[in-house]
A and B are shown apart, each in its own frame.
Chain A
């Protein structure tokens, strides 16, 4: 008995030592643990970049894919170092919190996946999609769909719209687009992470929606591009604001951000006016507090947070985006974000630009 107790004590001490072993590192700070939570949409990208980043300085970055809303809630409760969100904070949300900084990390899109065995390529336009999801266009051979697809023989069957049952950044991007292209949608349903869709059925998460579509002939639904690309689900070609028909690709998604971007990068780029842009594209953001000294966070953690974001904005990390089915940020967004990072402070002192010996 005594031996076992002794052993248990040794093991505990050993574990404790491992857990607390802060080894000083080359970049002028100790290795730390960072916790973030939020959007599931960029999760595959974050998994790769966080892993790569952590290796450099032996840090640990844990990210919980609990949804954008949950991430922001956690940031407001000050229990995470950063939040991931597919939607930027509204003025009202910003007013309820201390100053925050939005850093776009990569780009993605929402694609319209469909299940029509006889149709290889489907062209759609924003107002048509809005009316399909509003329940105004009920049949696949509706003349407005037929007008966009002159060479395709469309079946005379009921359309089954599929939407997200859980609140989701994907829904926000999709409905934000619909509200821009359809007055009817804007006035009756609006844009949001959860919207009362009047027709069809709902499923949980991208896998749920994709699963229902795969299983249901004549269905159409919206799915995050990274999911559709990875799974090889058939999706529609969309008509953009310039009247071009565009397939979602890394290039056409990045093209959507070629227009004006405000200094704080809080902007919706759906229905982009840029040529060659896929119209339902979006940034996804990491949101941090501007003043990093909160909830007893150490200066090391603040420095590490800034380092992490700088790494995500680096060419090296941005090149990874298309490998995991996202699109890279345009140069302008990266420049703006680096500037925004410079304004991040710890105890009122800007830490974004500190060189390694100033730390």
Chain B
């Protein structure tokens, strides 16, 4: 095999991915155009009606956008108290030691567990607990889904944050210590400001993961099509409504589901671009 052939093969392989990506966007847009042209782009985004009645079909994405943002935001809030200490433990307090390595490995292991396992755990362990604690009579809902999502995104937030915390130059930290700063002060006034945008971007990537999570959420959120009125209310996310309904979807509903898919694609893409951009900036610093 000579160099030229090798180069052509590589080039072709590399070209396939952007082509597929473009193809996905193209076909999503084509199939979604029915729903957008029927309801109007902004009306589709802001309407909370999801009515299947034949001859009176009305589809709006608002309940699912709210459901997605709410579960993601809550998952992020629940995940911070676990992931931030873990990243400080690995990246600062026990940096380079065996125990930090062990904890890092265990955290990363969480990322490798298939989402259906989290779903099962949530369904058979967490959900009965929520019923037993009398938080909600049915156990499913935004809160249950968010709690499990939080655990799922901990490894994404923690490992990457730890990397950025490790990268804070020793000289700065040592100069702070030499001025009499305590460890807590060093973390607050030196580590966080320096690694800040890096930590922030790792949470952005964790959000990207939470946004699109489908299986776990579908099993735990209760799958109802209204805007959730409380944290224990049942709801649907953009991913879960698609998973729930594409099988029987037809005509306009099919198009509406594809439109939701396109919106989810765009939101996730934007979030990832922001995350990547911030990481780049953090590396330059």
Say if the beta carbon of B50 comes within 8 Å of chain A: yes
Q: Is A219 an interface residue (CB 8 A)?
A: yes
Q: How far is the CB of A300 from chain B (nearest CB, A)?
A: 31
Interface contact A201-B222, CB-CB below 8 Å = yes
Instruction: Please list 21 pairs of residues, one from A and one from B, whose beta carbons are closer than 8 Å in the complex, sorted by A's number.
Output: A69-B250, A90-B54, A92-B54, A160-B138, A165-B236, A167-B245, A167-B247, A193-B248, A194-B245, A194-B248, A194-B253, A195-B52, A196-B50, A196-B52, A200-B138, A201-B224, A208-B219, A211-B123, A215-B124, A215-B127, A216-B139
Q: Residues of B contacting A70 with CB < 8 Å?
A: 247-248
Which of A92, A160, A168, A208 is in CB contact (< 8 Å) with B137?
A: A160
A203 at the interface (CB under 8 A from B): yes
> Mask for A15-27, Cβ within 8 A of B = 1, else 0?
0000000000000
Assembled-state Cα–Cα distance A31/B267 (Å): 50
Out of B124, B128, B131, B223, name the residue touching A165 (CB < 8 Å). Answer: B223
Chain B residues in 8 Å Cβ range of A193: 52, 248
Question: Which residues from chain B sit less than 8 Å from chain A, CB to CB?
Answer: 50-54, 123-124, 127-128, 131, 137-141, 218-219, 222-225, 234, 236, 243-245, 247-250, 253
Least CB separation from B221: chain A residue: A201
Given contacts A165-B224, A167-B245, A211-B123, 9 further A-B contacts (CB under 8 A): A69-B248, A69-B249, A158-B137, A165-B223, A167-B248, A196-B52, A201-B140, A204-B223, A215-B124
* Distance of A165 Cα from B54 Cα, bound (Å): 18
Q: Are the C-beta atoms of B244 and A165 separated by less than 8 Å? A: yes
**Least Cβ–Cβ distance between A303 and chain B, in angstroms:** 30
Residues in A116-172 with C-beta less than 8 Å from chain B:
158, 160, 165-168
Q: Is the CB of A201 within 8 A of B234?
A: yes
Q: Tell me if A332 counts as interface (CB < 8 A to partner B).
A: no
Q: How many cross-chain pairs have Cβ atoms below 8 Å apart between A and B?
A: 83
- Contact assessment for A204 and B244 in the assembled complex, using a CB-CB cutoff below 8 Å: yes
Contacts of B137 in A (CB 8 A): 158, 160, 218
Nearest Cβ on chain B to A70's Cβ, whole angstroms: 5
Residues of the B chain whose Cβ atoms lie less than 8 Å from the Cβ of A168: 248
Instruction: Provide the main secondary structure of the chain A interface.
Output: loop
Which B residues are CB-close (under 8 A) to A211?
123
> Chain A: residues with CB nearer than 8 A to chain B?
66-70, 72-73, 90, 92, 158, 160, 165-168, 190, 192-197, 200-204, 208, 211-212, 215-219
A92 to B57 CA separation, bound complex (whole angstroms): 15
User: Top 7 nearest A-B pairs by Cβ distance?
Assistant: A167-B248, A165-B223, A69-B248, A67-B247, A202-B223, A201-B222, A165-B244
Q: Closest residue of chain A to B222, judged by CB? A: A201
Chain A CB within 10 Å, residue with most, of B219, B225, B247: B247
Asked if residues B248 and A215 are in contact (CB atoms below 8 Å), the reply is no
A166 lies within 8 A of B245 (CB): yes
Write out the residue numbers on chain B whose beta carbons fall within 8 Å of the beta carbon of A202.
222-224, 234, 244
Closest-by-CB residue of B relative to A65 is B247
Q: Which of A72, A190, A197, A204 meets B218, CB within 8 Å?
A: A204
| Contact (Cβ within 8 A) A192 B224 | no
